[in-house]
Structure 1
Amino acid sequence: MKSLDKPANAENEETSDSNTGFFTPNEKIDFSNVKIEPLFEESVDFETFSKSDFRAVKVKNCVAVPKSKKLLQFTLDDGTGKDRTILSGIHEFYEPEELVGKTLIAITNLPPRAMMGIESCGMLLSAVNELKEGEGEELHLIMVDNHIPAGAKLY
């Protein structure tokens, strides 16, 4: 397999601890006030889990849904050659323009669901945790390396 590493003489060479702004190093995050939701006690058998189709999707466009304070409308490249629309109630945590060009993870075989008159065909995956009491919660979309092509299946 061809390496994706840049040659040593590449222009704009990054330092060894550079993360190109994609990841925040853990040592700079204060996790002391994070409250983690308990895991589900009910188990799901492998056959049921394997019916879920998780795919890498590229954000082609993202806009706020008119008359909604929460919803963002994503136009996604899912590798099929046809745009996929997914709505997500994450506007409190993200501005649409900061998501264009990102590679996210979506479950793509959910039945379509109409929201605000727009059909949403899937669900974007995110991590949510509660902050210390009275401070609400925070949400982080699951973003992956942009080298992963649209439509790549997760196993």
Structure 2
Amino acid sequence: MEYQKEEYVSCDHLFKMKFKVGKIVKCTEVNQSNRLLCFQVEVGDKTCQILSGLKGYYETGEVIGKKVMVLENVKATRIAGLKSEGILMVAEDRDGNVAFMIPDRDMEAGVEIL
């Protein structure tokens, strides 16, 4: 992953973002890509499909059941011919290790992150 040039956003922009706890229920590789994984993520009473460039960081089976931080209210887009309906939040350290942002307590999928 590459870091982008730092830009500042106003609090108004931040308050428009809707972050929720999601639960990964399915994960598959995207055949047309060497970077993408396709996640099915329960967010409350709905399941969202989210594509993310995490192939090589996670195996498809190891993520099932993980609770993750999801940016829910982004405009759906098509990536590699598939619809992506959100963003999974991850962090990357200086050594290139990637980790999901997860709640430190057991939280129900769909709970809003404030």
TM-score, length basis structure 1: 0.66
**For residues 13-52 of structure 1, what are the structure 2 equivalents within 5 Å?**
40=6, 42-52=7-17
Percent identity for Structure 1 against Structure 2: 28
Larger strand share, 1 or 2: 2
Aligned residues: 112
Unaligned runs of 5+ in 2: none
TM-score, length basis structure 2: 0.89
Equivalent residue number for residue 14 of structure 1? none
Q: Displacement, 1:100?
A: 0.2
> Could you tell me which amino acid in structure 2 is paired with residue 143 of structure 1?
I
RMSD: 1.9
Question: 1:10-67: CA deviations, max 9, x gaps?
Answer: xxxxxxxxxxxxxxxxxxxxxxxxxxx7x93x43221111000000000111111113
Q: Displacement, 1:143?
A: 2.1
Distance 1:146 1:64, change over 3 A: farther
Are 1:71 and 2:40 an aligned pair?
Answer: no
Q: Displacement, 1:146?
A: 6.3
Larger radius of gyration: 1
Equivalent residue number for residue 60 of structure 1? 25
More relative contact order, 1 or 2 (CA 8 Å, 6+ apart): 2
> For the residues of structure 2 that align with 1:154 and 1:83, how far apart are their CA atoms?
17
Unaligned runs of 5+ in 1: 1-36, 132-136
Equivalent residue number for residue 69 of structure 2? 105
